[in-house]
Amino acid sequence: MVCDDDIKPLQRQKVCVIGAGMAGLASARELRREGHDVTVLEQSGDVGGQWRYDPMTDGADPLGAAAAPVKVHGSMYASLRLISARETMGFTDFQFAPKDGRDVRRFPGHREVYLYLKDFCDAFGLMELVRLNTGVVRVALAPGPIPTRQWMVRSVDLGKSDGAEEVEEEFDAVVVANGHYSQPRLPSIVGMEVWRGRQVHSHSYRVPEPFRDEVVVVVGCGASGKDIAMEVRRVAKEVHLVAKSMEEVTQELAKVLSKYSASLHLQLHVERLCEDGRVVFGDGSSILADTIIYCTGFNYSFPFLDTEGAVTVDDNCVGPLFEHVFPPSLAPSLSFVGIPVKVFAPWFFEAQAKWVAQVLSGKRTLPPEEEMVRSVEEYYRAREAAGAPKNYTHDVSLFDTTDYI
């Protein structure tokens, strides 16, 4: 039987991809494969996104507490290695295989992932689609009748030293792939504003040396919190790693804590911070600390995007997004690739990108808007019923029905 999809003429769209990280590159390849006219706008001087290690930090605002967006995109620290094995980290047809003369470890360092992404660009000729040093400052719908409205993308050439002019271009569709590991998410702790020590977010952590001989509190027990606590412990006087509850203390962590009990201490919850430098923990005990490093995650942020309220970020939930990709009222001309967390990247991004590319060409169709809205609402309800907090909406590792293929 001939499928209806096979006999439709394919549409070639002019598509702008924002960001040349893993998600943007996956999008660029799939869109071009589908025959679209693709332009990738990337604010930095190279591709790779987070995997392009940046030793610079937001020195003037290490907490990232000022109004968004942060000035430095990178959040990776020098010693970072993959948490997932390399065989789970690859595009479906471009394996992340060890290469002679490079970092051949199964869990390689960040540079190897960056080099892999560069290899990917070379293999698929993607660099010719990417405009580097081009920061997107505004994305909004042009005026006009809804089905034919174009997207106006305003960008600035950051390569020019002084006062580069903004350029505005029209696109049929925009794929947002600007990443979400840059804008610090901070807890709200009584006394944060008056505490006299140094407060830093993991976004601005690169190496342990600045914390030599200090008493350091690391808030947050996720992968970064554990890594950073272990690394800082080697040079600091003592490190206090703060977990939200004992549930976060895995057997492996308990072993590490007992091995290094002289310099690494587990604390539960920070109750308040005092002006004199004391940090008071949940059990009422306190210590005098020099620095607090918040490893408390990141917020989604789209400072350039004006959807007139059609897409919002509320408690770190970007929505409404059908299957974490399409805002129902603006689909398919606006899409997001790379929103879900705890996924096998870049494989997952590739699947999302393929879906976007095929919907834009007309090879695949989306359900009607009302159906997409209903599906998003059902998803929210199911997660709420399962007790999943709203700020974990895009953590699809717990349960998900997402199926892009």
Residues that bind ligand FAD (CB under 6 A): 18-24, 41-44, 49-51, 73, 75-76, 80, 82-84, 135-136, 177-179, 181, 224, 304, 338, 345
CB of 115 to ligand FAD, least distance (A): 14
CB of 74 to ligand FAD, least distance (A): 8
Q: Which two tokens stand for residue 136?
A: 């997107």
CB of 81 to ligand FAD, least distance (A): 7
What's the one-letter identity of residue 22?
A: M
- CB count within 10 Å of CB 85 equals 12
Closer CB to ligand FAD, residue 50 or residue 291?
Answer: 50
Closer CB to ligand FAD, residue 24 or residue 62?
Answer: 24
Residue 56 Cα distances to 35, 202, 207, 235, 284, angstroms: 38, 13, 11, 21, 37
Question: What whole-number distance in Å separates Cα of residue 376 and Cα of residue 328?
Answer: 9
CB of 187 to ligand FAD, least distance (A): 18
Give me the sign of the Cα torsion angle 286, 291, 295, 297.
positive
Closer CB to ligand FAD, residue 369 or residue 392?
Answer: 392
Closer CB to ligand FAD, residue 219 or residue 273?
Answer: 219
CB of 223 to ligand FAD, least distance (A): 7
CB of 144 to ligand FAD, least distance (A): 24
Q: Is the peptide bond before 187 cis (omega within 30 degrees of 0)?
A: no
Q: Which residues of 9-29 are buried (b: 16+ CB within 10 A; e: fewer)?
A: eeeebebbbbbbbbbbbbbbb
Closer CB to ligand FAD, residue 49 or residue 62?
Answer: 49
CB of 20 to ligand FAD, least distance (A): 5
Instruction: Enumerate the H helices of 217-269 as residue ranges.
Output: 223-233, 251-259
Question: What whole-number distance in Å separates Cα of residue 16 and Cα of residue 268?
Answer: 46
CB of 82 to ligand FAD, least distance (A): 4
CB of 22 to ligand FAD, least distance (A): 4
CB of 88 to ligand FAD, least distance (A): 8
Closer CB to ligand FAD, residue 279 or residue 335?
Answer: 335
Question: What whole-number distance in Å separates Cα of residue 206 and Cα of residue 320?
Answer: 35
By DSSP bridging, strand 173-176 and strand 291-294 are unpaired
Task: Give Dmax over CA atoms of the chain in angstroms.
Answer: 76
Q: Which residues of 256-295 are buried (b: 16+ CB within 10 A; e: fewer)?
A: beeeeeeebbbbeebbebeeeebbbbeeeeeeebbbbbbb
Question: What whole-number distance in Å separates Cα of residue 334 and Cα of residue 346?
Answer: 21
Q: Is the peptide bond before 55 cis (omega within 30 degrees of 0)?
A: no
Closer CB to ligand FAD, residue 21 or residue 64?
Answer: 21
Closer CB to ligand FAD, residue 97 or residue 382?
Answer: 97
DSSP secondary structure letters along 128-196: GGEE-SEEEEEEEEPSS-GGGPPEEEEEEETTSSS-PPEEEEEESEEEE---SSSEE-----BTTTT--
Question: What whole-number distance in Å separates Cα of residue 393 and Cα of residue 12?
Answer: 33
Closer CB to ligand FAD, residue 76 or residue 273?
Answer: 76
Closer CB to ligand FAD, residue 176 or residue 289?
Answer: 176
